[in-house]
Every structure is written in C-alpha cells, then in structure tokens.
C-alpha cells in the first residue's frame, strides 16, 4: 500500500467532467485506488463517490493505492490531480 498527499492544482477544480476523467485514469489500473479528504474516504473509480468530495483547487487530499500496479496508479492519479492531464 502506498499513501501520498497531493494538493489539487487544477484551475477548474474537480467538477463533473474532470471527475469523470479522473475515474477513467484510476480505472486503467488493477490497484485499488482511493482518495481521502478530511474524514472522507472514497473509491477513486467511483464517479458518485468522487462527486461527494466536492474537491476544489488548493484542497489537500491523500491518495491511497494498493495492488500489483499501485506505483503506476499512484503516479498517474497524482499527476492528474496536479495538472488535469
């Protein structure tokens, strides 16, 4: 299991379209991937779960990955939250 703190640095924050893209990124990997914000912990592969976080630019979150390709999943999800790509 890997944990990494990331500051959301996307200008538009995470509204519906960026969340859908984030879910697509996380879903490319077999690793279980979740995002923690405050006391909330959601599956990064769940659009509904991610929507409940209401993330905006400047929010600090913790990404948690676990599984065979956890390192690659961590790198891609963290990169997406930092850049939107």
Greater confidence, 17 or 32? 32
The SS3 call for residue 75 is helix
Domain covering 2-83 in this structure, CATH number? 3.30.1340.10
Does residue 85 contact residue 34 with C-beta atoms inside 8 Å?
no
The more confidently predicted of residues 55 and 66 is 66
**0.75 exceeded by the pTM?**
yes
Per-residue pLDDT tens over the stretch 2-26: 999 999 987 666 678 899 999 999 9
pLDDT 10s digits, 57-80: 899 999 999 999 999 999 999 999
Inter-CA distances, 34 with 2, 6, 23, 73, Å = 11, 13, 10, 11
Residue 56: its pLDDT value, please? 86
What was the pLDDT predicted at 11? 63
| Closest C-alpha among 25, 14, 19 to residue 78 | 25
């Amino acid at each position: 299991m890997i944990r990494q703190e990331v500051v959301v640095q996307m200008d538009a924050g995470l509204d519906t379209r960026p969340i859908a893209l984030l879910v697509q990124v996380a879903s490319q990997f077999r690793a279980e991937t979740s995002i923690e914000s405050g006391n909330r912990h959601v599956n990064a592969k769940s659009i509904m779960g991610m929507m409940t976080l209401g993330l905006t630019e400047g929010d600090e979150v913790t990404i948690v990955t676990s599984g065979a390709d956890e390192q690659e999943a961590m790198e891609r999800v963290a990169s997406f939250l930092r850049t939107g790509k």
